């Protein structure tokens, strides 16, 4: 999920020091540096509101954009809407939609097998984040073929790093405007770094916990499970057993009462003419 500069698959699995260092830096800043800063200087209500807004926007960029739009083509939308959603997803530091999507397509094609990038049979640590620290020997172009035909996806891949930087600069600039240099630093730490850390881990819980804990009401063909609790931090992605069974459905939570903000956003976009061809392929609609 984190960014990698590797463009071709290595001939053998190799440790990725760049990903490891970047991940450790984010963890250290979030669990040590930010609490220390908060203890000495404090955070304002503005900082926390900015954190929550950007957490929601970035998380939905992953779930609505990277996941349901790009990886599974569960709905369609105008290119400018897609570009906006993929910019929000890029702020999560989970790689470009091209690479994220190809890994996710491979995950569905090879669930619980050796080629599965976040293979849950290798344990919680590997599926949660350990897989990020190695350049997979299984990354193949065939999982990118469809995605490479999309000009918006290729545009986002080309400008991925500038997009990441804008996601960090935005809270700093807003904080600077609101409270000067001190406000800029506070907003950057909460709205930038801590928001990034939280969105990363909300996504990681789907790869790990939703293959280990929960019910399997739709299929027992793989380890995917439904967890309503995970859905509360991942914008509806916790209904993972349903998703693996009906991957192209624009909903992850199929029942009206399932907490799935991502499906509500997609449906709302369809009501105002900004999304179309919403796909449903569960048994209730044949």
State the pLDDT at residue 48.
97
**Tokens 């739009």 belong to residue:** 69
The answer to the question of residue 198 being in a domain is yes
Residue 164 included in any domain:
yes
**What pLDDT is stored for residue 135 in this prediction?**
80
Instruction: Give the torsion sign (CA, 216, 218, 220, 222).
Output: negative
Residues 6 or more apart whose CB falls under 8 angstroms from that of 151 comprise 79
Q: Would residue 3 count as lying in a domain?
A: no
Q: Which of 217, 257, 204, 233 is nearest to 225 (CA)?
A: 217
Q: Which domain holds residue 19?
A: 14-285
Q: What pTM did the predictor assign?
A: 0.91
Q: pLDDT averaged over consecutive 10-residue blocks of the chain (286 residues)?
A: 48 77 91 94 96 97 97 97 98 95 94 91 91 78 90 97 97 95 96 96 94 93 93 94 96 94 97 96 61
Question: For the chain, how many structural domains are there in total?
Answer: 1
Amino acid 284: pLDDT: 61
Residue bearing tokens 């449903």 = 280
Given a contact cutoff of 8 angstroms between Cβ atoms, the answer to whether 133 and 16 are in contact is: yes
DSSP type of residue 239: B
- Look at residue 105 and tell me if it is in a domain: yes
pLDDT at 281: 83
Residue 187 belongs to a domain:
yes
Q: Write down the residue that tokens 């939570």 correspond to.
A: 253
- Could you give the CA distance from residue 147 to residue 154 in angstroms, rounded to a whole number? 8
Asked if the structure places residue 8 within a domain, the reply is no
d(CA 175, CA 27): 22
Nearest CA among 265, 270, 215, 266 for reference residue 238:
215
Whether residue 70 lies inside any domain: the answer is yes
Q: Is residue 62 part of a domain?
A: yes
């Amino acid at each position: 999920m984190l960014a990698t500069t590797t463009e071709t698959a290595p001939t053998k699995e190799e440790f990725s020091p760049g990903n490891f260092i970047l991940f450790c830096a984010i963890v250290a800043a979030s669990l040590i540096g930010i609490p220390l800063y908060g203890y000495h200087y404090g955070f304002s209500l503005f900082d926390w509101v900015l954190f929550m807004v950007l957490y929601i926007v970035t998380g939905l960029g992953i779930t609505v954009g990277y996941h349901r739009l790009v990886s599974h083509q569960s709905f369609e939308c105008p290119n400018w809407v897609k570009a906006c959603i993929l910019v929000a997803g890029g702020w999560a530091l989970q790689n470009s939609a091209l690479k994220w999507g190809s890994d996710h397509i491979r995950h569905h094609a090879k669930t619980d097998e050796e080629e599965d990038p976040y293979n849950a049979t290798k344990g919680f640590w590997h599926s949660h984040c350990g897989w990020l620290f190695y350049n997979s020997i299984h990354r193949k172009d065939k999982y990118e073929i469809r995605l490479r035909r999309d000009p918006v996806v290729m545009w986002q891949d080309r400008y991925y790093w500038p997009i990441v930087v804008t996601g960090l600069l935005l809270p700093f600039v807003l904080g600077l405007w609101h409270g000067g240099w001190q406000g800029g630093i506070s907003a950057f730490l909460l709205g930038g770094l801590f928001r990034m850390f939280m969105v990363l881990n909300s996504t990681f819980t789907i790869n790990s916990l939703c293959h280990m804990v929960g019910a399997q009401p739709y299929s027992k063909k793989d380890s995917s499970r439904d967890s309503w609790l995970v859905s509360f931090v991942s914008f509806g992605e916790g209904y993972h057993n349903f998703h693996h069974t009906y991957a192209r459905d624009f909903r992850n939570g199929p029942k009206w009462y399932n907490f799935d903000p991502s499906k509500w956003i997609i449906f709302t976009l369809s009501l105002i003419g900004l999304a179309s061809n919403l796909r449903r392929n569960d048994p209730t609609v044949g």
